[in-house]
A and B are shown apart, each in its own frame.
Chain A
Amino acid sequence: MTTTDEKGIKETVKRFISSSISIAKLDDDDNLFESGIVNSLFAVQLMTFIEKTFAIEVGTDDLDIENFKSLNAMTAFVLQKNGHPNG
């Protein structure tokens, strides 16, 4: 498992979230924003983490809640930004 495959990306993002915010359990499709556990500061920190860790740039065209709402959504977004066909 590396940080560039689907499982690795998901685990890496999950570790960052769990080390930053208080959350009892986080499933792959849990909506981070609807649950209210993510505030605007953490939303930007999460975006910065994704940019730094996966060497991608989040631009204005990427500002879509669908890209960041859950672990599965963020994983798909990273794969897509890195040109993965299943992203």
Chain B
Amino acid sequence: MDKSEGQQLLTGAQKGRHEEFKSFVRLDVEPFAEQWDREQRLPESVIDKLAKRGYLGCSLPREYAGQGWDTVTFDLLNEALGRGSSALTDVVTVQAMVSMALLKWGTTEQKRKWLPPLAKGEMIGAFALTEPGAGSALQSLTTEFTPNSKGDCLLLNGHKKWISCAQFAAVFLVFGTLGQRSAACLVPRETPGLHIEAISDLMGFRAAGLAELHFHDVEVPSANLVGKPGFALSHVAQVGLHYGRISTACSALGLLRGCFEESIAYAGTRKIGDKTVGDLGMVRSLIARMGTDLEAGSLLCHNACRAEDSHLPEAFEKTLMAKYFTSRAAVRAASGAVQIKGASGCHGSSPVSRYYRDAKIMEIIEGTTQIHEDILGKIFVDQAGRFGK
């Protein structure tokens, strides 16, 4: 039984859903995660299961066929899934990034058209922001939208890379420039001129369906623009990245929990002479760090999600802190878990070897650790320098 402080803060409904999520992961995710990782693909059947359970539209309001769950429940879903498979959790992450950006900045017509199929999982979305030459430096985007002479269509040219879920997504939220202004536009997969090239052999997140997108004179209706040109990076992308960070922070927490649980189970049973591995002081040190990071990360995630549920402006920086903390703690924990399990932890049959590879990806996606430090450092320094005091 989880007696952590984070668990004590949950409502009865949240605890009930958390048990449901954990049961789903135990039965339908954990037994297959290694195979998905090895084959570098997620079967349609497991994405269908996410859809049928409402997990792909869990944060969207009921009026758009979503579940209307609060952000704390979204946290619990991502943590439970992250314990089982980072790659599968990435589908939930990206779906939330596209859906929540559209919910905030889409027109009424766009929301009516796109959100119900996204909420029901009939359509998977992908967030096409990163380019070969523009990762964290978003101002360097070279993908271009050009209006046609009538003004009813845009011609899209450019190249996106490292786009999660792009191998199977049905619609892409593509970021680029329109004249001198940033722009975001929904582009259906079947649009002529869009070529999708799968990326394989990643270190981690191997089943997350990453791909490159090549746009050659792709014609999209101007009605597909999301938000006004000039606000795509500052507002549309920010909302998407915010939900991406919430999801990734909680997914990393789940991975950390997996490392902790694998480590204590092994330490308590693996014999060395008449002692167990857990009797060794250096192993206890590794487990102590993991357990403490788990409690701290759980509270940081919970605080960020509660702030989001209360629609507080500090939700953004609390989410940055949670993602910054849990992604780094996951890397430490995965390294420790492999160390504790020794040779058996280095083999693909042990989840900790996959955790070790997936954890590092958590420090890269939705803003690198260094970008988080730059933003958070500035926020803290600014708070100390109010009005020059």
Binding site for B on A (CB under 8 A): 16, 18-25, 40-41, 43-49, 51-52, 59-60, 63-65
> Are B316 and A20 in touch, CB under 8 angstroms?
no
The answer to the question of B272 belonging to the interface, with a C-beta cut-off of 8 Å to chain A, is: no
Q: Is the interface of B mostly helix, strand, loop or mixed?
A: helix
Binding site for A on B (CB under 8 A): 105-107, 226-228, 230-231, 233-235, 238-239, 242, 310-317, 375, 379, 381-383, 385-388
> Are B375 and A41 in touch, CB under 8 angstroms?
yes
Contacting residue for B311 out of A18, A22, A43, A48, CB 8 A: A48
Instruction: Give the residues in chain A near B313, CB-CB below 8 Å.
Output: 16, 20, 45-46, 48-49, 52
A28 to chain B, nearest CB (A): 15
A81 to chain B, nearest CB (A): 16
Residue of A nearest to B229 (CB): A63
Q: Is the interface of A mostly helix, strand, loop or mixed?
A: helix
Instruction: Give the residues in chain B near A43, CB-CB below 8 Å.
Output: 234-235, 238
Cα distance A16–B382 in the bound complex, in angstroms: 12
B270 to chain A, nearest CB (A): 46
> Are B386 and A19 in touch, CB under 8 angstroms?
yes
Instruction: Give the residues in chain B near A23, CB-CB below 8 Å.
Output: 387-388
Contacting residue for A65 out of B230, B239, B379, CB 8 A: B230
Instruction: Give the residues in chain B near A24, CB-CB below 8 Å.
Output: 387-388
Q: Which 9 A-B pairs have the closest CB atoms?
A: A22-B385, A40-B234, A45-B313, A22-B382, A49-B313, A63-B228, A48-B313, A24-B388, A44-B238
B342 to chain A, nearest CB (A): 43
Cα distance A48–B235 in the bound complex, in angstroms: 11
- A sample of 8 inter-chain contacts (CB < 8 A) reads A20-B313, A23-B388, A41-B375, A43-B234, A45-B317, A48-B316, A51-B311, A59-B105
B222 to chain A, nearest CB (A): 14
Contacting residue for B107 out of A21, A40, A60, CB 8 A: A60
Cα distance A62–B176 in the bound complex, in angstroms: 21
A22, A59, A60, A63: most-surrounded residue (chain B CB, <10 A): A60
